[in-house]
């Protein structure tokens, strides 16, 4: 279950980013970009994230997962196409000489925090 290690890394990475920001009360949401090549279960990731974030400023944060289609380019004819399943050949010319150009992403795009200002008021900020 790679979702558990991914959730652990998300908590660690965002927590480390929060260290340089004063007055952070909590994280409201985290936006992720995940390529289809990772075969990720969003439900399992959400469950693991809830477990790993307990007792941290990330507890209760919403994960927003944007799935990036697996896209390739044929090295022979230049056709760009989405890969569906495990058939890694060009649909135009049938060549197996393809290069994946999108869909391998696995990154934290941004996160929103609730921050207390100098007066103790709370406000929403977005970090990218």
The answer to whether 90 is annotated as binding is: yes
The answer to whether 38 is annotated as binding is: no
Spatial distance between the Cα atoms of 58 and 114, rounded to a whole number of angstroms: 11
Do 124 and 110 contact (CB within 8 A), yes or no?
A: no
> In the chain, at which residue ranges do the beta strands (DSSP E only) sit?
24-35, 62-68, 71-74, 80-82, 98-102, 106-116, 122-127
Do 64 and 31 contact (CB within 8 A), yes or no?
A: yes
The answer to whether 48 is annotated as binding is: no
Q: Please report, in range form, the residues annotated as the binding site.
A: 2, 74, 77, 90, 93
Q: Please report, in range form, the residues annotated as the binding site for Zn(2+).
A: 74, 77, 90, 93
Q: Please report, in range form, the residues annotated as the binding site for Ni(2+).
A: 2
């Amino acid at each position: 279950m790679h979702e558990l290690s991914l959730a652990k890394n998300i908590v660690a990475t965002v927590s480390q980013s929060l260290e340089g920001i004063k007055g952070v009360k909590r994280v409201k949401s985290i936006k992720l970009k995940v390529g289809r090549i990772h075969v990720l279960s969003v439900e399992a990731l959400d469950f693991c994230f809830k477990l790993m974030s307990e007792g941290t400023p990330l507890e209760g944060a919403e994960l927003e997962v944007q799935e990036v289609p697996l896209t390739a380019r044929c090295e022979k004819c230049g056709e760009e196409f989405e890969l569906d399943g495990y058939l890694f050949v060009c649909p135009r010319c049938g060549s197996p000489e393809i290069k994946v150009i999108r869909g391998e992403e696995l990154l934290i795009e941004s996160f929103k925090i609730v921050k207390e200002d100098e007066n103790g008021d709370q406000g929403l900020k977005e970090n990218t």
